[in-house]
Chains A and B, each alone.
Chain A
Amino acid sequence: MRKSNMATEALRAENPDSIEALSREAEALKARLTEEKAKLNDVDSCVIGQRLESLQNFNIKPRRTLKGHQGKVLCMDWSSDKRHIVSSSQDGKMLIWDAFTTNKEHAITMPTTWVMACSYGPSGNVVACGGLDNKCTLYPLSMEEDPATKKKAIATHTSYLSCCSFTSSDHQILTGSGDSTCALWDVENAQLIQSFHGHAGDVMSIDLSPTETGNIFVSGGCDKVAMVWDMRTGDCVQVFDGHESDINSVKFYPSGDAFATGSDDATCRLFDLRADREVNCYKKDSIIFGCNAVDFSMSGRVLFGGYNDYTVNVWDALKGTRITILYCHDNRVSCLGVSPDGTSLCTGSWDYTLRVSADI
């Protein structure tokens, strides 16, 4: 060992702030946390679920097919008008659909392929998207002008943009990136308000709390953990582990007290914020492919998962059982979302199409 290295070693051994000392302390805390959490697990979710009546006559079917992308559909989002949908694709395009008529109202071409994230502004007048360009770009929608002429770059990351979501207004947007951070941006000035460091791998998905006082959001990523963040301070306030592979999707339970995850380990899970632990795991021996996207029905009773085996598994979120399987695509289901009024489910796929399913 070289002399200088030896000196550093010696310094570290004495220093309580050394990485070794810090990680020892962290490990001890982790062990205590696991113990604390286990103590509070006084009832199994299956026991509670068993008391509930099974859901009968579940009968949702594809009602619309949205054709127009020339590549894999990677992301979709509903407009607050419950009628329009934005989707983005590997082909470098973002399309705005009227889901009732299946007409395309806007087609926006991005500078790069693989547009992995897109999001509708709460007003329904703007959309934002990004991907391999490492940017999040805003497009105001108007019938008179081409949205591309009014485009505006809001956010820049040091790696690809994996997800984005407006907060309660068009004025702020939250982004997640392959650079393992999330960030909150001011749309008007295109300025960073807060950044969120803590993930040890690519961030794949984010979701804002549906409660108005929440001020929190959840993120999931390739480090297999989901993190809950305080938007105002930038602090990670809760960490949820359990998944054995990348978390691809996170979504709050409608009450805001729990969230679901979809993972490459072929399971979906439910994590409870107040109990600070996993409370349900949705899996079957026959399901061996990863889950890319999850969303709840309006009451939270039904959890939809879009999988790599081309299916959508429909789970009873409280009983933990599978209700049915939807076969509506010819390739991976990459994204899905329940409409804001809860009447229908939109799914996007690597088969280049989106479908809108409903129970009629």
Chain B
Amino acid sequence: MPAYTNAREAEALRRAKMELQSLQTQSCMKRQKTSETLKDLVSYCNNNLKNDRLVYPDKVNPFKTKKMCTIF
């Protein structure tokens, strides 16, 4: 190892090595086609859409303001 003149240079070298290592890990990654992955995103959503209370509101929402008058 060459003796680097200052700590900043050593830090830059450490970072460069780390970035390269990360890139090497990334290039080994097995990727899938968007046609497959997007289909899964859509089907997850469709399977859960009926229970999505911000899309299909429930009659009993805790934030519903209670009516003040009651009929006996």
- Say if A and B assemble together: yes
The residue that B33 contacts in the complex, of A32, A45, A275, with Cβ under 8 A, is A275
B33 to chain A, nearest CB (A): 5
User: Which chain A residue lies CB-closest to B49?
Assistant: A299
Instruction: Give bound CA distance, A236 to B26, whole Å.
Output: 9
Q: Using Cβ atoms and an 8 Å threshold, which residues of chain B touch A317?
A: 45
* A40 close to chain B: CB less than 8 A: yes
Cβ-neighbour of A360 out of B4, B5, B46, B64 (below 8 A): B64
Contact A40 B32 (CB under 8 A): yes
Question: A239-B22, A360-B61 are contacts. A17–B38 as well, Cβ < 8 Å?
Answer: no
Q: Is A253 an interface residue (CB 8 A)?
A: yes
Residue A11 interfacial (CB < 8 Å): yes
A255 vs B17: C-alpha distance when bound (angstroms): 33
Q: Is the CB of A45 within 8 A of B38?
A: yes
- Give A30-45 as 1s and 0s: 1 = Cβ < 8 Å from B's Cβ atoms: 1011001100111101
Q: Is the CB of B13 within 8 A of A300?
A: no
Which residues of chain A from 193 to 234 have any CB-CB distance to chain B below 8 Å in the complex? 197-198
Minimum CB–CB distance from A210 to chain B (whole Å) comes to 11
Q: Is A26 a contact of B54 with CB atoms below 8 Å?
A: no
**CB < 8 Å: which of A18, A19, A60, A238 contacts B29?**
A238
Closest chain A residue, CB of each to CB of B34 = A275
Which of A119-127, A182-190, A342-350 forms contacts with chain B? Answer: A342-350
Q: With A and B bound together, what is the CA distance between A342 and B17 in angstroms?
A: 43
A26 touches B62 (CB 8 A): no
Is there an interface contact between A26 and B19, defined as CB atoms closer than 8 Å? yes
Residues in A whose Cβ lies below 8 Å from that of B27 = 29, 32-33, 36
Is the beta-carbon distance between B54 and A343 smaller than 8 angstroms?
yes
Q: Residue A144 at the B interface, CB < 8 A? A: no
B61 engages A344 (CB within 8 Å): yes
Nearest B residue to A100 via CB reads: B62
Chain B positions 31 through 72: 1 when the CB is less than 8 Å from some CB of chain A, otherwise 0: 111111111111011101101111101100111110000000
Set of chain B residues within 8 Å of A23, measured between Cβ atoms? 16
CB < 8 Å neighbour of A272 from B4, B9, B18, B37? B37
Pairwise interchain contact B57-A40, C-beta atoms closer than 8 A:
no
CB distance from A142 to the nearest CB of B (A): 24
Bound-state Cα–Cα, A45 to B5, Å = 51
Kindly list the 6 A-B residue pairs having the minimum CB-CB distance in the complex, ordered from nearest: A299-B48, A299-B52, A359-B57, A22-B16, A255-B44, A43-B35
Interface residues of A (CB under 8 A from B): 4-5, 8, 11-12, 15, 17-19, 22-23, 25-26, 29-30, 32-33, 36-37, 40-43, 45, 48, 52, 55, 58-60, 63-64, 82-83, 99-100, 197-198, 235-239, 253-255, 257-258, 272, 274-277, 279, 297-302, 317-318, 338, 341-345, 356, 358-360
